[in-house]
Amino acid sequence: MPFTTTKSAFWKGFRDSAPFILVSGPFGLLFGVLAAEAGLIVPEAFAFSMAVFAGSAQFTALQLMQENAPVFIVLISALAVNLRVAMYSASLTPYLGSAPLWQRALAAYLTVDQAYALSIVQFESEPKMTVPQRMAYFFGTNGLVAPVWMIATVTGVMVGSQIPASWGLDFVLPLAFLAMIGPMLRTAAHLAACFAAIVTALFAVVLPYNLGLIVAGLVGMMVGAQVELWLERRKLATEAVQ
């Protein structure tokens, strides 16, 4: 269905994003609960979600601050977890790059997993969309998810401050991270990167200042990249033989 107005593009994005409330709602809630457990109060957690607006980076920072890791390790690790948004930004540029600067700045702030995933599919399947329509669609995908994320965080803090420490929520954050990893493992190279990072992390715990995390992460990235290269070469070789 071709779009007639930028308004209809916005509402299409809005509707397409509806199922993602089921992800951003519970995860925002969980972030709030765990933030409360870590001693954060409502304005702090709200500012966190509002200013950073990146779930996995927020969870990472929260965990490392509780481990009393040095500030630069907290920042590097949380940003590293969020490096994928730089890829999203790069991949959206051909579609949105010619929009006005203020719109691109706002779009940058709103670049999160579900907005990217929905938009790139939409832009690829309907190449005739104009840049304003694409921008409208992109903003539409955040019309629900962004407010839900903020509201869920605040609700989570209020709920979390009522939960006694004896409930043992200490292990919920590791489980949340593991739940996020599973669906990301789509190729053999992803699996190799993940496995290499796990093995390295077990040995790298002896390093000071939580540097083991950075080392294990880098090893995982290099292994992933090398496996990808190797698989590509092997595929080319097989095709050449045929």
Alpha-carbon gap, residue 68 to 79, rounded angstroms: 17
- Rg of the chain on CA atoms, in Å: 20
**Options 22, 121, 188, 207; binder of other proteins; rule CB under 8 A:** 22
The tokens for 168 are: 């043992």
Please state the closest distance from residue 1 (CB atom) to other proteins, in A: 26
Q: Does 236 bind other proteins (CB under 8 A)?
A: no
Q: Does 83 bind other proteins (CB under 8 A)?
A: yes
Q: Report in angstroms the alpha-carbon separations of 24 from 62, 109, 161.
A: 17, 16, 20
Q: Which is nearer to other proteins, 5 or 232 (CB)?
A: 232
* Burial class of residue 104 in the structure, from the number of CB atoms within 10 Å of its CB (0-12 exposed, 13-18 middle, 19+ buried): middle
Please state the closest distance from residue 184 (CB atom) to other proteins, in A: 5
Binding to other proteins (CB under 8 A) within 144-203 occurs at 165, 168, 170-185, 189-190, 193-194, 196-198, 200-202
Please state the closest distance from residue 135 (CB atom) to other proteins, in A: 11
**Options 18, 19, 52, 147; binder of other proteins; rule CB under 8 A:** 52
**Options 65, 120, 131, 151; binder of other proteins; rule CB under 8 A:** 65
Q: Does 224 bind other proteins (CB under 8 A)?
A: yes
Alpha-carbon gap, residue 205 to 96, rounded angstroms: 43
* Burial class of residue 17 in the structure, from the number of CB atoms within 10 Å of its CB (0-12 exposed, 13-18 middle, 19+ buried): buried
Q: Which is nearer to other proteins, 127 or 182 (CB)?
A: 182
Determine the size of the site formed for other proteins (CB under 8 A). Answer: 98
Residue 62 · residue 34 · CB < 8 Å? yes
Binding to other proteins (CB under 8 A) within 97-136 occurs at 97, 101, 104-105, 107-109, 111
CA-nearest of 210, 212, 221 to 74 is 210
Specify the amino acid at residue 216.
Answer: A
Q: Which is nearer to other proteins, 9 or 213 (CB)?
A: 213
